[in-house]
């Protein structure tokens, strides 16, 4: 059966909005995000651009100087930089592929988990975002070490151990796939949820097996979510540097690492800024290319005819034969990767050892929990982070929701350029944003610290919130809104009684994601933190710059328990799935 048939039978086409209205409504919906970014993000971005045009690094010189292309010339003419940029892009592509391979089965699993277990399943997916990068890296090290888990399994089946798995591109890719998987899964979850069961029934009645339906129904219909997930994962992995440092052992270079090194260790802000911009441009080009390729794969969305796809019989038989075991294997692998940090956190948070990176269990202790809960400093940082994350997530959602409607339902001049601008905070390495903010520190410190930190956190969350919500809005069933309108519901009633309930899964996903992004943000925050406003990740990071203690495991354990409780509570009041899926 063709994908277009699936579309026609299940999801209604968006009705074209009335032209007179759309002229003003679209731009009005796009305005809040644009204004917010113009106020808080455009300034550091402009500083980064100006710095990249400076000929020599001068930490005390004026920001505006006669422009020079010297930094860009140095980058383009240096094989080392070109190699690192190429390797970073390749790493990003590899991580994205791995994330899709592991994340897709996981997203399918999540939609099929019985409703009452769903909060737990959500929490499992979010584990990597709830644990510190050091904990996650430790997990990957224990997996790939010469005497690690993989080699022990190999030993059991009589195979020789594989040495040299650590400190390679593969190790970094696994680490990044682990932490970015939640972003892809959440982007997919809502869209997969949105597929009407009628589509599956229609496909089944035409003789499609379950596996065939995954490839020919679920996959094409989930392309908007997949596209959002791929762009997010690619951009995040192309700016990553902490995991790359911890698991690459400097045998793996990323542009993010070079930007950090030049900006902070060598105080060469111009070169760092130029590198960041080159990276931003190349990865944005990738994002645009992905966007356009996937758009071509979905001709039904632009009302173009689709020729029916015929799949040879032998291929469907092969799918049916290999699909189930392969799917189960991939699901098992991704669950293992997600649960690995949890197992470590459970053991390590009670381990009486001086450093967080110790692998073996020595003796039982409560002291790390005591220090976190009653140590004063930790509890205070925890409170700061909690308030900051809650406020930032609320503001981000409030700004992103209208923007998502603008993207999904309106076409107006400049929309494409605006979309690119909205995505920029994601493709510009966070270190570079930090460097830009650093030059504006005097102006920044005039703003109350909480407001200042919140405004920057919101900037960093917006790309995620917008893309998750855009996919959600696109999935809304317009027929329901039309029905409500025909029964006399005005716009406000339609929004609160029809649209908002329909968006609940997307709002929850975007809200949880925004909350966790803010709660874990350290790169930019560490430049902006003040003596009275130390967030929890900044405290942990500061400790890690000397030697990290197992308090970090206790923090992760508490965070995981709190998340499970919060999701269970949330599940009592709002359903995490769509109406027709119940």
Partner 1 sequence: MTISRRTFGKLTLGAGVVAPVHFVRTAVAQPKPGDELVIGVWGGAQERIVKEYCEKPLVAKYGCKVSYVLGSTVDRRARAYSERGRPSFDVLYLNIFESRQAVKDGVTQAPTDAVPQFANLYDFAKLGGYGVAINPCTIVYDKRKASKPITSWKDIWNPEWKGRIAWPSYPGAEGTAALLMTAKMFGGDEKNVGVAFDKIKELKPFAAIQSSQDQLFQMFDQGVADLSIEFGPFVRKYAETRNPNIEIANPVEGQALAMNVACITVGTKNQKLAEEWINFHLSEPCMLAYAREIYYSPTVKNLNIPDDLKQKLVLGADAQKLVDFDWDIVTKSQPAWTSRFNREIAG
Which positions touch partner 1 (CB under 8 A)? 59-60, 80, 134, 138, 141-142, 145-148, 166-167, 245-246, 249-251, 253, 258, 261, 263-268, 353-360, 377, 435, 438-439, 441-442, 445, 526-527, 529-532, 534, 538-549
**Residue 148 or residue 225: which is nearer to partner 1 going by CB?**
148
Q: Report residue 195 as tokens.
A: 């597929």
**Residue 132 or residue 504: which is nearer to partner 1 going by CB?**
132
**Residue 14 or residue 57: which is nearer to partner 1 going by CB?**
57
Q: Report residue 472 as tokens.
A: 């959600």
- Work out how close the CB of 210 gets to partner 1 at its nearest, in angstroms, rounded to a whole number: 42
Q: Is 461 helix (H, G, I), strand (E, B) or coil?
A: helix
- Work out how close the CB of 353 gets to partner 1 at its nearest, in angstroms, rounded to a whole number: 7
277 in Cβ contact with 48 (< 8 Å)? yes
- Work out how close the CB of 103 gets to partner 1 at its nearest, in angstroms, rounded to a whole number: 28
Q: Report residue 525 as tokens.
A: 């925050």
**Residue 195 or residue 529: which is nearer to partner 1 going by CB?**
529
Phi/psi of residue 364, each to 5°?
-85, 140
- Work out how close the CB of 361 gets to partner 1 at its nearest, in angstroms, rounded to a whole number: 12
195 in Cβ contact with 10 (< 8 Å)? yes
**Residue 83 or residue 493: which is nearer to partner 1 going by CB?**
83
Q: What is d(CA 96, CA 186) in angstroms, rounded to the nearest whole number?
A: 15
- Residue with the two structure tokens 């029809």: 498
* Dihedral-angle region of residue 580 (phi above 0 means left; psi in -120 to 50 means alpha; beta otherwise): alpha
CA 400 from chain centre, in angstroms, equals: 15
Q: What is d(CA 117, CA 129) in angstroms, rounded to the nearest whole number?
A: 20
CA distances in angstroms from 388 to 128, 384, 399, listed in the order given = 20, 6, 16
**Residue 176 or residue 512: which is nearer to partner 1 going by CB?**
176
**Residue 196 or residue 351: which is nearer to partner 1 going by CB?**
351
**Residue 116 or residue 250: which is nearer to partner 1 going by CB?**
250
**Residue 319 or residue 378: which is nearer to partner 1 going by CB?**
378
Cβ-based neighbours of 547, under 8 Å, separated by 6 or more = 354, 355
- Work out how close the CB of 260 gets to partner 1 at its nearest, in angstroms, rounded to a whole number: 8
- The beta-carbon contacts of 216-220 under 8 Å, at least 24 apart in sequence, are 216/1, 216/3, 216/6, 216/309, 216/311, 217/1, 217/3, 217/6, 218/108, 218/192, 220/3, 220/6, 220/297, 220/298
- Work out how close the CB of 173 gets to partner 1 at its nearest, in angstroms, rounded to a whole number: 17
- Work out how close the CB of 40 gets to partner 1 at its nearest, in angstroms, rounded to a whole number: 18
- Work out how close the CB of 269 gets to partner 1 at its nearest, in angstroms, rounded to a whole number: 9
CA trace torsion 169, 173, 176, 180 (10° rounding): 150
- Work out how close the CB of 264 gets to partner 1 at its nearest, in angstroms, rounded to a whole number: 4
């Amino acid at each position: 059966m063709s994908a277009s048939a699936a579309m026609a039978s299940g999801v209604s086409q968006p009705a074209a909005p009335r032209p007179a209205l759309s002229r003003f409504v679209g731009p009005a919906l796009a305005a809040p995000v644009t204004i917010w970014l113009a106020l808080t993000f455009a300034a550091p971005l402009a500083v980064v651009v100006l710095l990249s045009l400076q000929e020599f690094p001068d930490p005390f010189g004026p920001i505006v100087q006669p422009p020079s292309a010297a930094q860009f010339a140095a980058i383009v003419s240096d094989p080392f930089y070109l190699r690192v940029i190429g390797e970073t892009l390749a790493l990003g592509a590899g991580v994205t592929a791995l994330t899709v391979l592991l994340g897709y089965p996981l997203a399918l699993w999540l939609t099929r988990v019985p409703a009452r277990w769903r909060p737990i399943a959500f929490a499992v997916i979010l584990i990597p975002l709830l644990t510190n990068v050091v904990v996650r890296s430790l997990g990957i090290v224990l997996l790939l070490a010469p005497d690690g888990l993989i080699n022990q399994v190999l030993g059991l089946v009589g195979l020789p151990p594989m040495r040299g798995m650590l400190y390679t591109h593969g190790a970094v890719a696994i680490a990044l796939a682990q932490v970015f998987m939640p972003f892809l899964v959440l982007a997919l979850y809502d869209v997969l949820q949105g597929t009407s069961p009628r589509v599956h029934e229609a496909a089944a009645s035409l003789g499609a097996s379950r596996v065939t339906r995954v490839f020919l129904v679920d996959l094409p219909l989930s392309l908007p979510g997949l596209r959002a997930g791929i762009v997010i994962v690619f951009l995040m992995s192309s700016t990553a540097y902490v995991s790359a440092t911890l698991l690459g052992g400097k045998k793996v270079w990323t542009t993010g690492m070079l930007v950090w090194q030049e900006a902070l260790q060598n105080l060469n802000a111009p070169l760092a800024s130029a590198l960041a911009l080159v990276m931003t441009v190349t990865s944005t080009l990738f994002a645009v290319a992905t966007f356009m390729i996937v758009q071509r794969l979905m001709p039904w969305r632009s009302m173009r005819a689709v020729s029916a796809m015929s799949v040879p019989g032998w291929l469907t038989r092969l799918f049916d034969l290999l699909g189930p075991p392969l799917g189960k294997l991939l699901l098992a692998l991704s669950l293992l990767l997600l649960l690995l940090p949890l197992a470590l956190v459970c053991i390590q948070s009670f381990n009486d050892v001086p450093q967080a990176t110790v692998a073996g269990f020595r003796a039982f202790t409560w002291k790390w929990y005591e220090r976190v809960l009653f140590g004063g400093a930790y509890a205070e940082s925890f409170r700061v982070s909690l308030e900051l994350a809650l406020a930032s997530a609320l503001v981000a959602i409030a700004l992103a929701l209208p923007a998502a409607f603008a993207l999904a339902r309106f076409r107006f001049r400049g929309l494409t350029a605006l979309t690119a601008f909205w995505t920029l905070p994601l493709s510009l390495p966070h270190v570079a944003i930090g460097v830009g903010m650093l030059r504006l520190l005097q102006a920044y410190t005039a703003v109350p610290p909480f407001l200042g930190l919140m405004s920057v956190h919101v900037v960093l969350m917006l790309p995620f919130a917008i893309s998750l919500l855009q996919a959600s809005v696109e999935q809304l069933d317009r027929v329901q809104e039309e029905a409500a309108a025909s029964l006399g519901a005005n716009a406000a009633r339609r929004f609160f009684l029809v649209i908002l309930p329909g968006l609940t899964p997307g709002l929850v996903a975007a809200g949880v994601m925004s909350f966790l992004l803010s709660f874990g943000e350290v790169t930019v925050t560490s430049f902006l933190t003040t003596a009275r406003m130390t967030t929890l990740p900044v405290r942990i990071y500061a400790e890690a710059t000397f030697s990290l203690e197992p308090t970090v495991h206790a923090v992760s354990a508490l965070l995981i328990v709190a998340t499970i409780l919060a999701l269970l509570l949330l599940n009592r009041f709002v359903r995490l799935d769509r109406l027709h899926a119940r």
